[in-house]
Amino acid sequence: MSEPTAPSVPPTPPVPLSALLAREDLGLRQIAGPPAPDTVIHWAHTSEMADPYPYLLGGELLLTAGVHVPEAAGAGAYFEDYVSRIVAAGGAALGFGLAPVHDTVPRALVAACEAHGLPLLEVPPRTTFSGVARAVWQLMAQARLAELRRVTEAQQSLAAAASRPDPVPSVLRQLAQRLSAHALLYGPDGTVIASAGRAPVPGTQEALRKLTAVVRPDTGPADPPREAPASATDALGDTQLAAYALGGSSGFVLGVATRGREPADHTIASVAAVLLSLLTGEHQSGAGAARSSALVRLLLGAAPAEVAGLLGNGGRWLVVHARPENGTPDPVGAAALGAALGSPLIDLGRDVVRVLVPAGREPAAQPGWTLGVGTPAEPDGWPAADAQAARALARARATRAPLVRHGARPGLAELVPHADAAEHARALLAPLAAGPALTETLRTWLSLHGSWDRTAVALDVHRNTVRQRVTRCAALLDMDLDDPDVRMELWFALRDH
């Protein structure tokens, strides 16, 4: 078997060796190596191989009963080679069982572990290796639970800080407190906008400033834009440095300096980066203020056409209706959908998410969603575009298509003036005026070529309900809905209704 090129620590929560030694039920005793508080283990592994190197990933507590030890090992270099191979593979500690092969731990093994700085544990006869491994996993589970609790509490405190009147400084202060860190917010030009936390060691500010250049997009005129990573890390002595780009190409960067690095630190800092991205994005572009102004004016009686200019894009927008393939929409999913479609203008309904998208951006199908798209419209045409998107979504769900666009091809219907067609539609469909559900059922049923099952799916009703409604429509209209000419006339009327 090939040897690993370098030891790598498994992605599991570290367990202090001292916590394992504190378990009275195990009765473990350290007899060589550095103090237990300085050692962490990531899992337990049992092996009786004379050379365990190829089977170790790094960070293990290796357990052995010494079956592999030759009788003359005490007089030679066997244990020296054995321990050096464990250390080279990244093993964290060695546990030696006193039964059933050996009554005591060989002195040469103790000396080798002491010389190589490998913690050596004596495992009493009453303690099984499986019991030690189970204890390690129990301690790992406790460590993971503590880590998740720490992240959850940090998320809550950071979200609360973001809602304060001074959100950016508050988020930085809370982040610095949670990580015992020094946190800085850099502007697009590289200057420090705000900072919080304990004073950093000399040289930290300059090292962080250089690290922020790694994640800041290159927007120079001479070269094409450089693809920058979302985050970067470095170290300055015992100080751990991290930089997080905020808002993609906005140029704002979060810098964090900590003493040491805990497993949850990156997750907590990433949460702060997301919140600061939202805060700095609104601050930089002024789009949030413009949307707020538009909303206030609408509430105070302004017409949509009067406030459309505040939203940009020349007033032409697409209305998109979207529904998740499984379950009901939630705020997080709706926000992610809006970001994917390139618009923050989102309306989260009980079953459907509506998004107002700039007309210049052509919506694409989104994984996990079914979309219906209306035609580009000015403010006075937004209600009609909304109805188009709703019908397109119903058709997409019925046909199991990820996205359906409202069609606007010229055809026979364009030969009749719209006003005349609308008047004829009102007269023809007048018997159904008192039942909007009947009209919508008839429209959907005709669009799906008279399919009872697909119409039921599109309307979220039972197929028997569809049959009853269509039968009621036929009776009120006094028409034979099996006649293709009747269906065609009704379809044109419904389009203009």
Domain ranges within the chain, ordered by starting residue? 15-139, 163-285, 316-405, 412-496
| Tokens of residue 231, six digits | 């985050």
The CATH number of 163-285 is 3.30.450.30
Class of domain 15-139: alpha beta
Torsion of CA 463, 465, 469, 472, to 10 degrees: 110
Number of Cβ within a 10 Å radius of residue 269: 24
CB 195 within 8 A of CB 182: yes
Q: Among all chains, which residue has been given the structure tokens 């309307």?
A: 459
Answering whether pTM is above 0.95, one says: no
Class of domain 412-496: mainly alpha
**Alpha carbon of 44 to those of 5, 287, 390: distances in Å?**
21, 54, 58
Q: Among all chains, which residue has been given the structure tokens 């809905």?
A: 481
Q: Which residues 6+ apart lie within 8 Å of 423 measured at CB? A: none
- pLDDT tens sequence for the chain (497 residues): 444 444 455 556 788 999 999 999 999 999 999 987 778 998 899 999 999 999 898 899 999 999 999 887 765 689 999 999 999 999 999 999 998 889 999 999 999 999 999 999 999 999 999 999 999 999 988 888 888 898 899 989 988 888 887 788 889 999 999 998 899 888 877 888 888 888 777 888 888 888 888 887 654 444 444 566 778 888 888 888 888 888 655 678 899 988 877 778 888 998 888 888 877 765 445 556 666 777 777 777 777 777 777 676 566 888 999 998 887 888 777 877 887 787 878 888 888 999 988 887 788 888 889 999 988 888 888 888 898 898 889 888 878 889 988 874 445 555 566 677 788 888 888 888 888 888 899 999 998 888 999 999 888 899 999 999 999 999 999 999 888 888 888 888 887 66
CB 97 within 8 A of CB 67: no
